[in-house]
Structure 1
Amino acid sequence: MTRPSESLDEQRMLLTGISWKEYVILRELLDRRNLRITYCKGALELMTTSRKHELWKTTVARLVELYALERHLPLVGYGSTTFQSAVEERGTEPDECYRLGTSMRDGEYPDIVLEVISKNPLVDKLEVYKGFNVPEVWLFKDGVFELYRLNDGVYARIERSRFLPELDFELLAPFVTREDQHQAVFELRDILRKA
């Protein structure tokens, strides 16, 4: 019996010249737990997630959700829900996504999406989310957060989230990469309660 290697990193593959119809068919055929599919106007990226990727995205989600809970913020999480738009020729599953204050209805998109980046994407994630008019995109790459806000159809780097302006991403980042996720959550909780 073979065991999955601890060192397996995410793998990416790009297919071009894929029609919207072919994307929809492939999306249905390849629906698997550790496979992320991103589509943007003919370009299709397939990515298998690594154990580290899944650990980090789950840790970020737990930390952000803890922050919202401790600060009594109405943050609604939707995990890695698939978003598609035939009109915009886009489809993707963010690592995590959120609405602040209201629940999403069919046809709506999140206020915030999170992407954990271990290897550079082959399809520009910001271009994909621009087509969905997502106000904020948070990237976690190389142990730090990069935050982007959509303004007049262009994403620009920002230092603070408009939705969670008091959240200190520099404080948060070191907790994300720790192996002791449970302890990291408790330590952040203690810091938040002392503040």
Structure 2
Amino acid sequence: MATMINPTETSVIIEGASWATYECLLEDFGDSRTTRMTYDQGTLEIMTPSYQHERLKSLLTTLFEAMATGLDLDFENAGSTTFKREEKARGFEPDACFYVQHVAAVRGKQRLDLTTDPPPDLVIGVDITHPSLGKLPIYAAVGVIEVWRCDGYQVHMHRLIDGQYEPAETSAILTGVTKADVNRLLDLSEEMTRAAWIRHIQAWAQSLE
């Protein structure tokens, strides 16, 4: 029997949940829900994002898109798409994710299926609520190249190497961009209007070429 443990204001973790239960919840809630679900070999997290969480997600999404645009990179924003692999007993809905290196493989598709489509190249995760299910092993299991994880204070980069994530100082997806750059530019969002901030990021990224 599934047992619920460690409830918090915005996150509930359930141990002993079956894959069928996970699939049923996804279907019952549908695409209109505000919750996000993560499944890892019998452990299910159901999370309702807070305003702080969504604000950081929005800022990081805008930051990535502005940098990629300044670098003249093609990309696809896959948002919080549900990705799942039944044979690995894992599923996740990232705060945001992008295709860059594999953008041609998903362009124009209306649905994505990890059994036939590549995983996103980069996942952005905001993790400011505890307890929280550790998601790096899930991303590694499906082959996400890079993860940006924000703890509410700063962004940490993780790069997939030999099936495991290692801390990284530079991005494997955005050439020339460092963790320090991401955190510095994110801090600037508190000092500038949004339009001016986006223009500044794009101009900065263009200067890297």
Q: Shift of the alpha carbon at 1:182?
A: 4.1
Whole-angstrom CA distance in 2 between matches of 1:91 and 1:179: 37
Whole-angstrom CA distance in 1 between matches of 2:171 and 2:81: 21
The residue number in structure 2 matching 1:3 is none
Q: Shift of the alpha carbon at 1:190?
A: 4.8
Report 1:27-106 matches (<5 A).
Answer: 27-31=26-30, 32-101=32-101, 102-105=103-106, 106=113
The answer as to whether partners of 1:10 and 1:50 remain within 8 angstroms in 2 is no
Whole-angstrom CA distance in 2 between matches of 1:181 and 1:139: 22
The answer as to whether partners of 1:38 and 1:46 remain within 8 angstroms in 2 is yes
The answer as to whether partners of 2:77 and 2:96 remain within 8 angstroms in 1 is yes
**Residues 47 and 19 (structure 1 numbering): CA distance in 2 closer, same or farther, change over 3 Å?**
same
What is the aligned-residue RMSD (CA, Å)?
Answer: 2.3
Gaps of 5+ in 1: 1-8
The answer as to whether partners of 1:11 and 1:49 remain within 8 angstroms in 2 is yes
Tell me the matched-pair count. 187
Q: Shift of the alpha carbon at 1:179?
A: 9.1
Per-residue CA deviations over 1:115-161 (Å, capped at 9, x if unaligned) read 01111452111011112111111101132111111111211101011
Q: What TM-score does the superposition give when structure 1 sets the normalisation length?
A: 0.85
The answer as to whether partners of 1:104 and 1:110 remain within 8 angstroms in 2 is no
| Aligned equivalent of 2:187, options 170, 174, 178 | 174
Q: Shift of the alpha carbon at 1:184?
A: 3.0
Gaps of 5+ in 2: 1-7, 107-112
Q: What TM-score does the superposition give when structure 2 sets the normalisation length?
A: 0.80
Report 1:80-159 matches (<5 A).
Answer: 80-101=80-101, 102-105=103-106, 106-107=113-114, 108-120=118-130, 122-159=132-169
Whole-angstrom CA distance in 1 between matches of 2:56 and 2:38: 20
> Identity over aligned residues, as a percent?
31
Q: Shift of the alpha carbon at 1:90?
A: 0.7
Whole-angstrom CA distance in 2 between matches of 1:164 and 1:142: 22
The answer as to whether partners of 1:146 and 1:157 remain within 8 angstroms in 2 is yes
Whole-angstrom CA distance in 2 between matches of 1:90 and 1:82: 11
The DSSP-based 3-state class of the residue aligned with 1:119 is coil
Whole-angstrom CA distance in 2 between matches of 1:45 and 1:179: 36
Q: Shift of the alpha carbon at 1:183?
A: 4.3
